[in-house]
Amino acid sequence: DAGVTQSPTHLIKTRGQHVTLRCSPISGHKSVSWYQQVLGQGPQFIFQYYEKEERGRGNFPDRFSARQFPNYSSELNVNALLLGDSALYLCASIIAGHTTDTQYFGPGTRLTVL
Amino acid sequence: RKEVEQDPGPFNVPEGATVAFNCTYSNSASQSFFWYRQDCRKEPKLLMSVYSSGNEDGRFTAQLNRASQYISLLIRDSKLSDSATYLCVALLSGGSYIPTFGRGTSLIVHP
């Protein structure tokens, strides 16, 4: 069975540009969460989506947005990139999005903003 | 004060040692707790959920102390392969799903 897939694996952008990151959850999972992890820190929660609806939002500016598609895949968009957006972006697949559900993380997209 | 706090370490222990990590959380409405393991430049992977009654999985034991608002992870008979960063996670109860990770505790097990 395929696990969580994310694309691209690495990305280099310049300040001011925008970026779209993609995630496909485990088959049968209906919920996806997005995280930002900077070096030396734990993952910081950005969004959770369940059945195409936003279920949770972390403390991130409006430059960050996301959506979930009917096939449960998801995109994270970041506009007007800043140097501080350089991080590993992780997607987690959750079967139903309940607080007791296990999250399965994808390998992440490493974004570098120059 | 951070919502979930962990000692970043590193904890440097010999093989066979017993090591314990604590993680404190500030929001008493936190309902669900987990320990994740993250290897260098890899994604986090679930190690175990944490229940009020405590739970054990082989060499690993997790405990929750709601009165003092901390969770713990005990690793017995440490192996070289246990070297990793251990992340604790707290989730609030209610309709919104907002998990908070600690910054992680680094463990190095040496021969």
Quick one: average pLDDT of A17-45?
Answer: 95
The candidate with the shortest Cα–Cα distance to B88, out of B13, B2, B18, B15, is B2
Q: What is the dihedral of CA B102, A110, A66, A103, to 10 degrees?
A: -50
Say how many CA atoms lie within 13 Å of A68 toward its Cβ: 23
Q: What is the dihedral of CA A17, A31, A87, B7, to 10 degrees?
A: 150
**Banded pLDDT at A95 (limits 50, 70, 90):** confident
Mean residue pLDDT across chain A: 94
The candidate with the shortest Cα–Cα distance to B82, out of B6, B11, B28, is B11
- B43 to A107: CB separation less than 8 angstroms, yes or no: yes
Whether B44 has its CB under 8 Å from any CB of chain A: the answer is yes
**Is the confidence at residue A8, as pLDDT, over 90?**
yes
Measured between beta carbons, which residues in chain A are less than 8 angstroms from residue B6?
42
**Banded pLDDT at A74 (limits 50, 70, 90):** very high
Percentage of residues in chain B with pLDDT exceeding 70?
95
Whether A100 has its CB under 8 Å from any CB of chain B: the answer is yes
**Is the confidence at residue A1, as pLDDT, over 70?**
no
| Rounded-to-integer distance, Cα B81 and Cα B86, Å | 13
- A105 to B45: CB separation less than 8 angstroms, yes or no: yes
| Rounded-to-integer distance, Cα A58 and Cα A89, Å | 14
**Is the confidence at residue A2, as pLDDT, over 90?**
no
**Is the confidence at residue A84, as pLDDT, over 90?**
yes
Give residue A15's pLDDT: 97
The candidate with the shortest Cα–Cα distance to B18, out of B65, B60, B46, is B60
A74: left (phi over 0), alpha (psi -120 to 50) or beta: beta
Say how many CA atoms lie within 13 Å of B33 toward its Cβ: 29
Whether A97 has its CB under 8 Å from any CB of chain B: the answer is yes
pLDDT tens track for B78-99: 999 999 999 999 987 666 678 8
Give residue A7's pLDDT: 97
Substitution target in B46, B97, B100, B105 with the highest count of A β-carbons within 10 Å is B97
| Rounded-to-integer distance, Cα A82 and Cα A18, Å | 10
**Is the confidence at residue B51, as pLDDT, over 90?**
no
Measured between beta carbons, which residues in chain B are less than 8 angstroms from residue A90?
43-44
Whether B101 has its CB under 8 Å from any CB of chain A: the answer is yes
Mean residue pLDDT across chain B: 92
Quick one: average pLDDT of A57-72?
Answer: 96
Residue whose tokens read 């908070």: B100
pLDDT tens track for B3-19: 899 999 999 999 999 99
Give residue B94's pLDDT: 65
| Rounded-to-integer distance, Cα A19 and Cα A76, Å | 8
Contacts of B20 (CB under 8 A, 6+ apart): B72, B73, B74, B75
Give residue A96's pLDDT: 78
Calculate how close chain A gets to B78, using CA atoms only, in Å.
Answer: 23
